[in-house]
Amino acid sequence: MQTDPRFNVESFNLDHTLVAAPYVRTADVKEVGGERIVKFDLRFTQPNERFIPTDALHSLEHLLAENIRNHTDRVLDLSPMGCRTGFYLIMRGDASPVEAARLIHLALGDVLEATEVPGCSPVHCGNYRDHDLDGAKLWARRFLSVKEEDLAKVFRDEYEEEELDRIPGWTGFSR
Ligand SMILES: [Zn+2]
């Protein structure tokens, strides 16, 4: 499935042509000071098919980073991927992709309820004009349309062909 590691960066060794987004994947696990640290790849859009516009991604980042911490005290970081197809979530403890998917579902539910983007001011943000709350809600709804249990499926060969048609990232994409 995956090629032999050749890069220092874990995601460079992931074959992005084989995945079926949206998904939640364990990207890395490390022991730091006797505690386990887990990094998740929260992929919102199908790599090299679609990407989230910068303003919507930025608002999603603010909303998710703020709201996910209302549901757990184990989040160390949540940050967007430079390719704009998703986010990385770093948690302490023995977190599983199912648990991460649960937390993301909760935080995305909060996004749909939001009336403003937290930290959207020149005091709290480095580019406060570059936000789109409606866009953030659109991408949140898209991710939420995938069942939590399906988010743990990362590769397209984990799905039946007819199931792929129901995944937002694969609509209109032939195998
Ligand atoms: Zn910001």
Give distance in angstroms: CA of 67 to centre of ligand 1: 14
| Beta-ladder partners of 79 | 88
The token pair that represents 24 in the structure block: 């939640």
In the chain, where are the structural domains located? 24-155
Give distance in angstroms: CA of 174 to centre of ligand 1: 36
Reported in sequence order, the residue ranges of the chain that DSSP labels E, i.e. its strands, are 23-32, 35-43, 75-80, 86-92
Predicted local confidence at residue 143, as pLDDT: 94
Q: Cα–Cα distance between 169 and 100 in angstroms, integer?
A: 20
Give distance in angstroms: CA of 19 to centre of ligand 1: 29
Whether pLDDT at 87 is above 90? yes
125 annotated ligand binder: yes
Q: What is the mean pLDDT of residues 67-79?
A: 98
Topology, domain 24-155: Gyrase A; domain 2 (3.30.1360)
Whether pLDDT at 80 is above 70? yes
Q: Look at residues 57, 51, 39, 48 and name the one whose alpha carbon lies nearest to residue 15.
A: 48
58 annotated ligand binder: yes
**pLDDT tens digits, 14-69:** 999 999 999 999 999 999 999 999 999 999 999 999 999 999 999 999 999 999 99
What is the gyration radius of the CA atoms in the chain, in angstroms? 16
- Give the CA distances from residue 59 to residues 8, 38, 163, in Å, rounded to whole numbers and listed in that order: 30, 24, 30
Q: What is the mean pLDDT of residues 108-120?
A: 98
Q: Look at residues 10, 12, 72 and name the one whose alpha carbon lies nearest to residue 40.
A: 10
Q: Which residues surround ligand 1, an ion (CB under 5 A)?
A: 125
Q: Cα–Cα distance between 140 and 108 in angstroms, integer?
A: 6
Q: What is the mean pLDDT of residues 71-90?
A: 98
